[in-house]
C-alpha cells in the first residue's frame, strides 16, 4: 500500500488509549509450531479476569521521528521489553502501510513476569490501542490474530469471559485466533494466589521451546490436551464447574509435568506452590468445589464457584498473610477508552 505522508502526519499527535484484562488458561497453550508467528501446537481455553487490567496509550509521532518511545509505569521500559514492543509495532506498521513511530505508555496493575498473565493483558491492550491509533478497521478475530503476534495468550484477552484460541492449521497465520465461548451459565470465579510475585527466571517462551525440544512427556501431553479440550467444551457448555475444574487441573499439572521431564528440568513450582496445592485438596475434602491451575511461575489460581470465592481467599489469607491474594470473576474484553477513561 502506498503511503500518503500528509495523511500520516495529520494522524500523529493524539493518543489512543486501550484497556485489557489478563486471562488465565483452563486448557493451556504450551508449545509453538511456529515461533515467529506464535502459532501454537494446540488450541487453548481461558477465562478473562475482571481485575488487574493493563492500560496502554499509543500516540503516533511526527513524521521526522526516528524511533519508538516506550514507557512502562511512567519510566523508560527495560530494553528487552522495548524490543518486543517495537517488533510488535513493526507488524502493525506493516498492516497499516505506515512508517510512523509511536510513543507507547503502559501501566500494569498485575505483577509483571510472574506467571500472572501480564503479557496477555499487555499485548491485548497494545494491539487494541495501536489499531485505533493507526485508524485500522479490524474484526475481533483479526484483532485477536494481531494480539497473538505480541504474545500468544494475548489472543484470548481480546474477549470477555471465556474464550477459545483455535490453534489453526499448518504454517498459516490466518487460521489461528480466539473467539468468545458463550458459557453464560457457568458460575466460576478464580482466587489468584501470588506466593512469589517477583519476575520469573525463565520466560514462558524459552521454557516452552526447551520443553518441546527435550521432554519425552511433551507429545503425550499434547494428545491428552486435545481430549481435555473436547471435554471442557462440553463441561463449560453444561455449566458443570466440577468437571471444568477437574479437567483444568489435570491439564495444568500435565503441563508442569512436561517441564519436569525436560532436560534439564524446568521447575516453576516452589515449596509454597505445593502448600497451596495441598490447601486446595483440603478444601475439596471439606466439600468445596476448588481446583487449581498454574502457569509459567510458582503462583496458583484456584477455580471455585463465585459464591465461595471470598471464603476460599480468606482461608488462604489466614494461612499466609504475606502472600498476594485477589479474587476474580469473568471480566470484560479489550476496549478503546475515551480520554476520561470510559470504555468506547
Ligand atoms: O503468551 P505467553 O507466551 O506468555 O505464554 C503463556 C503460556 C501459559 O501462560 C503458561 C499458558 C497459557 O495458555 O496462558
> DSSP state, 238?
T
Q: Which three cell numbers stand for residue 162?
A: 471465556
Q: Determine the pLDDT at residue 1.
A: 37
State pLDDT tens for residues 274-303.
999 999 999 999 999 999 999 999 999 999
Q: Determine the pLDDT at residue 27.
A: 98
Q: How far apart are CA 9 and CA 98, in angstroms?
A: 10
CB 263 within 8 A of CB 220: no
pLDDT-derived band of residue 112, with 50, 70 and 90 as boundaries?
Answer: low
Q: How far apart are CA 129 and CA 16, in angstroms?
A: 5
pLDDT greater than 60 at residue 2 = no
Q: Is the CB of 246 under 6 A from ligand 1?
A: no
- Beta strands 189-194 and 300-304: pairing type? antiparallel
Collapsed DSSP state (helix, strand, coil) of residue 258: helix
Q: Is the CB of 28 under 6 A from ligand 1?
A: yes
pLDDT-derived band of residue 149, with 50, 70 and 90 as boundaries?
Answer: very high
Of ligand 1's atoms, which has the minimum distance to the CA of residue 29?
13
Q: Is the CB of 19 under 6 A from ligand 1?
A: no
pLDDT greater than 70 at residue 9 = no
Of ligand 1's atoms, which has the minimum distance to the CA of residue 119?
4
How far does the centroid of ligand 1 lie from the alpha carbon of residue 339, in Å? 31
Q: Is the CB of 93 under 6 A from ligand 1?
A: no
Q: Is the CB of 327 under 6 A from ligand 1?
A: no
Of ligand 1's atoms, which has the minimum distance to the CA of residue 296?
10
Which H helix or E strand runs over 257?
helix 241-260
State pLDDT tens for residues 70-82.
999 889 988 999 9
State pLDDT tens for residues 299-335.
999 999 999 999 999 999 999 999 999 999 999 999 9
Rg of the chain's alpha carbons, rounded to an integer? 20
How far does the centroid of ligand 1 lie from the alpha carbon of residue 289, in Å? 25
Q: Which three cell numbers stand for residue 225?
A: 490436551
Residue nearest to atom 9 of ligand 1 (CA): 295
Q: Which three cell numbers stand for residue 328?
A: 476474580
Amino acid at each position: 500500500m502506498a503511503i500518503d505522508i500528509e495523511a500520516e502526519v495529520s494522524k500523529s499527535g493524539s493518543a489512543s488509549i486501550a484497556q485489557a484484562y489478563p486471562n488465565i488458561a483452563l486448557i493451556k497453550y504450551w508449545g509453538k509450531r511456529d515461533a515467529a508467528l506464535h502459532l501454537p501446537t494446540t488450541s487453548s481455553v481461558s477465562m478473562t479476569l475482571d481485575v488487574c487490567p493493563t492500560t496502554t496509550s499509543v500516540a503516533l509521532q511526527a513524521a521526522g521521528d526516528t524511533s519508538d518511545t516506550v514507557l512502562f509505569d511512567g519510566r523508560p521500559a527495560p530494553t528487552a521489553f522495548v524490543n518486543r514492543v517495537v517488533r510488535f509495532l513493526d507488524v502493525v506498521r506493516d498492516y497499516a502501510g505506515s512508517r510512523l513511530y509511536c510513543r507507547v505508555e503502559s501501566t500494569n496493575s498485575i505483577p509483571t513476569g510472574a506467571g500472572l498473565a501480564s503479557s496477555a493483558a499487555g499485548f491485548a491492550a497494545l494491539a487494541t490501542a495501536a489499531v485505533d491509533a493507526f485508524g485500522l478497521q479490524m474484526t475481533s478475530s483479526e484483532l485477536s490474530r494481531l494480539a497473538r503476534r505480541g504474545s500468544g495468550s494475548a489472543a484470548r484477552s481480546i474477549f470477555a469471559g471465556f474464550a477459545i484460541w483455535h490453534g489453526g492449521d499448518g504454517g498459516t497465520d490466518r487460521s489461528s485466533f480466539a473467539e468468545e465461548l458463550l458459557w453464560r451459565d457457568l458460575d466460576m470465579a478464580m482466587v489468584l494466589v501470588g506466593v512469589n510475585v517477583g519476575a520469573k527466571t525463565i520466560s514462558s517462551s524459552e521454557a516452552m521451546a526447551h520443553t518441546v525440544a527435550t521432554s519425552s512427556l511433551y507429545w503425550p501431553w499434547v494428545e491428552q490436551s486435545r481430549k481435555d479440550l473436547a471435554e471442557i467444551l462440553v463441561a463449560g457448555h453444561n455449566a458443570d464447574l466440577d468437571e471444568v475444574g477437574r479437567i483444568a487441573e489435570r491439564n495444568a499439572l500435565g503441563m508442569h509435568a512436561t517441564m519436569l521431564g525436560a532436560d534439564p528440568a524446568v521447575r516453576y513450582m516452589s515449596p509454597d506452590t505445593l502448600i497451596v496445592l495441598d490447601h486446595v485438596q483440603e478444601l475439596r475434602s471439606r466439600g468445596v468445589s476448588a481446583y487449581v491451575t498454574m502457569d509459567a511461575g510458582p503462583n496458583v489460581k484456584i477455580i471455585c464457584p463465585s459464591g465461595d470465592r471470598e471464603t476460599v481467599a480468606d482461608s488462604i489469607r489466614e494461612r499466609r498473610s504475606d502472600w498476594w491474594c485477589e479474587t476474580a470473576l469473568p471480566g470484560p474484553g479489550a476496549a478503546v477508552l475515551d480520554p476520561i477513561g470510559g470504555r468506547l
